[in-house]
Structure 1
Amino acid sequence: MRRIGGQILLLLQSGTLKLLVFAGIILLAWGTVAPVGTLVWWLSQSSESLGIKKNLAKNLSRDSRSPKVDKSENIDCYIVFLPGVGDFSANQLTPGEEFFLHKLEQIHRNCVAVRDVFPYSIANESLGGRRLLAPLWSAAEKADGWFSNTDILIKIRNLWRFAISADERYGHIYNLGIADVIVNRMNAVHPLSKRPKQGLKLILVGTSGGVQVALGAAPYLDRWLNAQLFVVSIGGDFDGEEGFEVVEHVYQLVGRRDWIEDLSQIVFASRWPITVGSPFNQARRQGRYTVVKTGPHAHSGSQGYFGTTTIGQSQTTYVELTLKKVNQLPIWSNQNQK
């Protein structure tokens, strides 16, 4: 006990403990004001732009920020990627994530990939955009050496957006805004038909906190689009409340070394087996929720789901194994067509 007391005293004298306490206070204060941006966005929107009177024919227009897809006009499938909490912007996918989406487009010629949705901004704005704290986020993202650990600030900031999406008070507004972003980015990549001749397939692929946002946006996407909705969660975390009543199926891909994915099963009561009436447990009983074991993946990093290093002595990379597992899902076949 004396040794521990002495170490605490040294921490106090060096200022390290004071810094940690100060960081904790800032974190709590941060969470208190986190919903302000969502409320400001809500107040600045009209009823039509909010989707209360959604009119796809009037609201959708091409956006030069997204590359045009050189494919046939027989596009009936959109793959929307929502990255994890460690991402800085919608335009900063890792090489593994880019490889994954590019291969999916190559294999499934009727699909286009939407890469530029940032699920931690209701305005789809990167952390380095027009923000009060933009210099802080940019510095944290570019830091190297010992200061490279400051990227935890970005993760904490994005985790608060994850929490807002799951919040009963603010989540509906936030998820509505993200759904609006998704529809507009889909149209920017390939124009959405105003009168589709056949059912559209929308595959929301998320990792980490992006899955919660995907499920939160699902009810609005279901309302606005004549589409089958599938969610592919790659080591994702979610509360088990939103989205399950409207999606066709949720596939949860889990690696053996991914312990982060286990946390949401503990934190959110809707994921507990005893809450039999929760949307998550109802979907599981109805066979609309499937867990897929992917292999030796960790949650992130070079050995994560989108890692580009090879697995052991094999010639297969971690992201190639993830791609293989996703391609084996029945969402690509005609058996799920209505």
Structure 2
Amino acid sequence: MNGYVLWAFAVGPALIAEALLARYEVLAYGARWRAPVTELPDGVPYARGAAPDSPPDAYLVYLDGIGKRRVRDSRDGGQLVAALLARAPELRLLGQVQPYSPLADPLAERPVWAWLRRRVGLVLFLHNVMQIFVAADRRYRPLYNRAVGRQIATQLRLAGYRSDSGIPVALLSYSGGAQVATGAVEELHSQLRAPLLLITLGGFHNGANDLTHAAHLHRLTSASDRIERLGTWIFPQRWPLLRGSGWNRAHRAGKVTVHRLDPATHVGPRSYISRTAQVPDGRSHVDRTADTVVALIRAHHCGAEAATGTS
């Protein structure tokens, strides 16, 4: 018991400080106290996949879940990104966006957080959790959406995207990344006027963001994903009763399609990105997820070409 008390005294102040500072970044962005980071570390490309000297079929931006702490890292060590690139070399893929930092500042690169990670790793996890709720808070949501939307637009331009080019941009978001992806729609439309396709994987979001300028949203989910289901319970904007929410308006407009990836779980050895768990046809969960994402992007690209009469 004494051990738990000592742990609480050690971690408690850090948690209180994080709760108070969770809004700092979005306020610092709004007050222009600090400029967002745009440059990437040496050796990190702005995009991978299709060569930058010819237009790709689409740009794919991957917004990882709350485990995202660096430019390079992802919860699965990059396996999903690698699987996507292997299947769709015609895409230009960006994985460096920091969904939980309005200032685009990787958490693990900050000295104080590097120190905390060695001593209180849980705080890093809670930082990103709290950022999701800051992004969902109606007081901060417009500013947070603008900040991360501009971050994504900047990284797309640096990766070769040109405004009004008509090339689709797909936002693939995992877990809490869906809050950021849905929030970025308006700013990306304003900045790039790009055809926007959203793909949420176990998406945890409050349903308040306006999806008017999204071409479509594909919801990849599973009956075994308790965390994704929790989001549909705790956020009233996801309830059918609130017909005026952005989420319910998108549903009525026919912009949301559900795809079942049963029996995948949100995290763990049977997650959507597991390399060991298999579906009946012998594919791993990550292979099935990558196949599904690529098929949706290609179908969207072909539909866009048909609508414009290009080939």
TM-score normalised by the chain length of structure 1 = 0.79
Q: Which residue of 2 aligns with 1:249?
A: 216
Question: Number of aligned pairs?
Answer: 301
| Change beyond 3 A, Cα 1:76–1:121 | same
Q: Which residue of 2 aligns with 1:171?
A: 141
- Tell me the amino acid that sits aligned with residue 86 of structure 1: G
| Change beyond 3 A, Cα 1:317–1:217 | same
| Change beyond 3 A, Cα 1:324–1:109 | closer
Q: Which residue of 2 aligns with 1:192?
A: 161
Alpha carbons 1:62, 1:188 under 8 Å: kept:
no
Q: Which residue of 1 aligns with 2:100?
A: 120
Q: Which residue of 1 aligns with 2:272?
A: 305
Alpha carbons 1:63, 1:188 under 8 Å: kept:
no
Q: Which residue of 1 aligns with 2:81?
A: 101
Alpha carbons 2:57, 2:301 under 8 Å: kept:
no
- Tell me the amino acid that sits aligned with residue 200 of structure 2: S
Shift, 1:234, TM fit: 0.3
Alignment of 1:47-62 (within 5 A): none
Alpha carbons 2:63, 2:172 under 8 Å: kept:
yes
Shift, 1:105, TM fit: 3.4
2:17 is the counterpart of 1:32: no
What secondary structure sits across from 1:81 in the alignment?
Answer: strand
Shift, 1:181, TM fit: 1.6
TM-align CA RMSD: 2.9
Alpha carbons 2:265, 2:271 under 8 Å: kept:
yes
- Tell me the amino acid that sits aligned with residue 225 of structure 2: D
Q: Which residue of 1 aligns with 2:70?
A: 89
Hey, what's the Cα distance between the residues in 2 that align with 1:151 and 1:63?
Answer: 24
- Tell me the amino acid that sits aligned with residue 152 of structure 2: I
| Change beyond 3 A, Cα 1:235–1:151 | farther
- Tell me the amino acid that sits aligned with residue 322 of structure 1: T
Q: Which runs of 5+ in 2 are unaligned?
A: none
2:150 is the counterpart of 1:180: yes
What secondary structure sits across from 1:204 in the alignment?
Answer: strand
Alpha carbons 2:197, 2:214 under 8 Å: kept:
yes
Q: Which runs of 5+ in 1 are unaligned?
A: 1-10, 51-59, 141-149
- Tell me the amino acid that sits aligned with residue 112 of structure 1: R
2:303 is the counterpart of 1:335: yes
2:23 is the counterpart of 1:43: no
Alpha carbons 2:202, 2:266 under 8 Å: kept:
yes
Hey, what's the Cα distance between the residues in 1 that align with 2:210 and 2:302?
Answer: 23
Hey, what's the Cα distance between the residues in 2 that align with 1:310 and 1:37?
Answer: 38
Shift, 1:67, TM fit: 5.2
2:113 is the counterpart of 1:133: yes
Shift, 1:324, TM fit: 2.4
Shift, 1:267, TM fit: 1.0
| Change beyond 3 A, Cα 1:273–1:25 | farther
Hey, what's the Cα distance between the residues in 2 that align with 1:171 and 1:45?
Answer: 19
Hey, what's the Cα distance between the residues in 1 that align with 2:47 and 2:244?
Answer: 44
What secondary structure sits across from 1:133 in the alignment?
Answer: helix
Deviates more, 1:30-39 or 1:19-28: 19-28
- Tell me the amino acid that sits aligned with residue 261 of structure 1: E
Q: Identity, % of aligned pairs? A: 25
2:128 is the counterpart of 1:158: yes
Hey, what's the Cα distance between the residues in 1 that align with 2:279 and 2:219?
Answer: 24
Alpha carbons 2:59, 2:170 under 8 Å: kept:
yes
Alpha carbons 2:173, 2:199 under 8 Å: kept:
yes
Alpha carbons 1:200, 1:226 under 8 Å: kept:
no
| Change beyond 3 A, Cα 1:16–1:269 | same
TM-score normalised by the chain length of structure 2 = 0.85
Alpha carbons 2:83, 2:287 under 8 Å: kept:
no
Alpha carbons 2:150, 2:191 under 8 Å: kept:
no
Alpha carbons 1:229, 1:247 under 8 Å: kept:
yes
- Tell me the amino acid that sits aligned with residue 335 of structure 1: G
Hey, what's the Cα distance between the residues in 1 that align with 2:21 and 2:81?
Answer: 35
Alignment of 1:280-295 (within 5 A): 280-295=247-262
| Change beyond 3 A, Cα 1:107–1:320 | closer
Shift, 1:210, TM fit: 0.6
Of 259, 266, 273, the match for 2:240:
273
- Tell me the amino acid that sits aligned with residue 309 of structure 1: T
2:59 is the counterpart of 1:78: yes
Alpha carbons 2:61, 2:170 under 8 Å: kept:
yes
Hey, what's the Cα distance between the residues in 1 that align with 2:167 and 2:235?
Answer: 32
